[in-house]
Amino acid sequence: MSGFELFFLLLLVALAWFWFDSLQAREAGMAGARAACRREAVQLLDETVVCRSLRLARDDNGRIALLRVYEFEYSGSGDDRYRGSLMLQGREVVMLDVGAHHRAGRPAL
């Protein structure tokens, strides 16, 4: 096996790993969005999350992990549409925002 073939094989394995890891992270994001919407008594719209950013970051132990930001939409009454977001580090939810429906009812200061 030549060096080029070995490089191509390793690249293919890395891409396959990234694809499977992204699928698992998306499922973790969906679970986090569903749980947040259930907790806030709102409806998760479209039953999906969308990855908005992906970058490398260090976790609490100093190891490098992928940091993904997902967005989703939800509704409080069925007639409105709000955007929520969550941040995953690896497959752990480290930040979640679904407070727009609370802020929408307040008068502007």
Q: List pLDDT tens digits, range 28-65.
A: 999 999 999 999 889 999 889 999 999 999 988 889 99
109 part of a folded domain: no
| φ, ψ of residue 78 in degrees (nearest 5) | 95, -20
Question: Is the residue at 59 inside a domain?
Answer: yes
Whether the model clears a pTM of 0.75, i.e. scores above it, the answer is: yes
Q: Is residue 108 part of a domain?
A: no
CA nearest 68: which of 49, 82, 42, 47? 49
CA distance 47 to 41: 15
Residues spanned by the domain of 42: 3-103
How many domains in the chain? 1
Q: What pLDDT sits at residue 105?
A: 56
